Amino acid sequence: MNVFLLCVVCATVLAVTSCGGLADEFPSARSVSGTFKGSWMETRRGRRFQAYRGIKYAWPPVGELRFQPPRLIDSYKGVVYAGEEGPSCPVPAPPPGYYVDEDCLTLNVYTPTNNGSKLLPVIFYIHAGGFYSMSGRSDYAGPHYLLDRDVVLVTINYRLGSLGFLSLGNKLAPGNNGFKDQVAALKWVRRNIAAFGGDPNLVTIAGCSAGGVSVMLHMISPMTKGLFHRAISMSGSPTAKEHSPSHRLDLAHKQARVSDCPADNLTALYHCLKNKPWREIHGSILGFFEFGYDPLTLWRQVVEPDFGQERFLDIEPIKAIREGRMHEVPFIVSQTQDEFFWKANSILYNQTLLDTMNAEWDRVAPISFALPRDETHERLAKLRRAYFGDKDLVNDTSTSDALGKLYSDTITAFPVHRMANLMCKFSKQPVYYYEFAYIGNNSHRVDRVTNKPTHAAHHDDLLYLFTLNYSYPTIDVADTEDSRMVDKMTAMWYNFARYGNPNSCEDTPELSPLHWPTMKCRRESDSKQKQYLRVDEEFSVKQNLKEDRFKVWEELYPIVY
Ligand SMILES: *[C@@H]1O[C@H](CO)[C@@H](O)[C@H](O)[C@H]1NC(C)=O
Ligand SMILES: *[C@@H]1O[C@H](CO)[C@@H](O)[C@H](O)[C@H]1NC(C)=O
Ligand SMILES: *[C@@H]1O[C@H](CO)[C@@H](O)[C@H](O)[C@H]1NC(C)=O
Ligand SMILES: *[C@@H]1O[C@H](CO)[C@@H](O)[C@H](O)[C@H]1NC(C)=O
Ligand SMILES: *[C@@H]1O[C@H](CO)[C@@H](O)[C@H](O)[C@H]1NC(C)=O
Ligand SMILES: *[C@@H]1O[C@H](CO)[C@@H](O)[C@H](O)[C@H]1NC(C)=O
| Residues 546, 548, 550, 554, Cα dihedral to 10° | 140
Distance, CA 115 to ligand 1 centroid (Å)? 6
Which one of the ligands is nearest to 270 CA?
3
84 CA to centre of ligand 2 in angstroms: 11
pLDDT in the model for residue 5? 35
Cα-trace Rg, the chain: 24
User: CATH says 31-346+401-517 is which class?
Assistant: alpha beta
Question: Would you state the pLDDT for residue 526?
Answer: 63
* Average pLDDT value over all residues in the chain: 93
Q: Which of 49, 117, 150 to mutate to test the pocket of ligand 1 (most atoms within 8 A of CB)?
A: 117
- Structure letter (DSSP) for residue 291: B
pLDDT given at position 6: 34
How much is the pLDDT for 528?
64
Tell me if residue 209 is catalytic. Answer: yes
> Helix H segments across 275-396?
278-281, 317-322, 343-348, 351-359, 361-368, 377-388
- Outline where 166-324 has alpha helix (H): 177-192, 210-218, 249-259, 266-274, 278-281, 317-322
Residue 176: CA atoms inside 13 Å, Cβ hemisphere, count?
29
Q: What is the DSSP string of 112-128?
A: S--SSSSPEEEEEEE--
Question: Is the backbone peptide bond immediately before 558 cis, with ω within 30 degrees of 0?
Answer: no
* Residue at 474: amino acid letter: T
Residue 292 CA to ligand 4 center (angstroms) comes to 7
Burial of 208 (0-12, 13-18, 19+ CB in 10 A): buried
Q: 84: closest CA among 132, 33, 26? A: 26
Using CA positions, which residue lies closest to atom 14 of ligand 5? 349
Nearest to 422 by CA among 560, 231, 217, 236: 560
Segments making up each domain of the chain, as ranges: 31-346+401-517
- At 109-164, the pLDDT tens digits run 999 999 888 999 999 999 999 999 999 999 999 999 999 999 999 999 999 999 99
Ligand 4 atom nearest to 292, measured from its CA: 5
Low-confidence ranges of the chain (pLDDT < 70): 1-24, 524-528
**Per the omega criterion (within 30 degrees of 0), is the bond before 174 cis?**
no
Q: 1-31, pLDDT tens digit by residue?
A: 333 333 333 333 333 333 334 456 899 999 9
The per-residue pLDDT for range 499-524, each reduced to its tens digit, is: 999 999 999 999 988 899 999 887 76
